[in-house]
Amino acid sequence: MARHRPAAEGGYQRGEETRARIIDAALRLFAAHGFDGASTRDIARAANVNAPALQYYFDNKEGVYLACIDYFVERAFALVEDVVVKTEADLARPDVTDAELIESYLALQARFAMFLYECPETDHWRQFMARERAGLGPPAAFERIDAGINRRLLALTSAVIGRLIGQPASDENTRIRTVAIDSQIAAFKVMRRHILRALGWDEYGESETQRVQDVLQEHTRILLLGLIARRDQLRAQQSHELEQKL
């Protein structure tokens, strides 16, 4: 892991500011040019530091990239943490209702949408993460993201969906459904140019974002209610078949 230390000559506060400036510059350059295309010299120049300073804080280019990943994970989880904790608490309640779980899932979806659409840095974050999802970063980056946020969020949403469809969270069918439902929001950000063309929009501003969120929330609620109805229908059918055998 890259070292995290203040500049000896400037004290901790100055060191933290320099480190943050390097990460910000690196995020933008990695987003624009990819891991291979952005050089440490370019990053240092954009951050207005000398090359030895970059090496001092992060050892090498991969260290800078992993620091960008850590920064992304920290920002993302900080925004959703309270909703995650509440949903985990709801799942731990034996008397939690389907309606409450639906509201918990929609709250998670809305908060994640807020992060994707409204955070001011997300234009270059979107490009950075699109490259990362395509496997264009160093191998250690995926493990860092997976351990930092993906596993916990997938475990949580899989538990909610699994409860609503009457299947274990670890079941393959549950995971497939969960990934499909979870991915709706990210698609509207990752496929931004395609969405603008498909919808005939000139921009993706506040009003467009709100329309997308409203539709996705309605769509997800209908979908989850449909899955619950299917679960109950299957249970009733199984109960009837069991009675017939007896």
Token reading at 143: 């493990």
Same fold, 11-58 and 68-245: no
Cα–Cα separations (whole angstroms), residue 229 to 62, 72, 98? 49, 38, 11
pLDDT for the residue numbered 133: 80
Helices (H) and strands (E) in the chain, counts: 11, 0
Low-confidence ranges of the chain (pLDDT < 50): 1-3, 6-13
pLDDT for the residue numbered 117: 66
Token reading at 69: 């990943």
d(CA 190, CA 206): 17
**Biggest CA-to-CA distance, the chain:** 83
> Does the reported pTM lie above 0.75?
yes
The domains of the chain are located at 11-58, 68-245
Token reading at 29: 């350059």
Q: Phi/psi at 226 (nearest 5 deg)?
A: -65, -40
d(CA 185, CA 107): 13
pLDDT for the residue numbered 5: 52
CATH 1.10.10.60 given to domain 11-58: yes
What's the CATH code, domain 68-245? Answer: 1.10.357.10
pLDDT for the residue numbered 7: 45
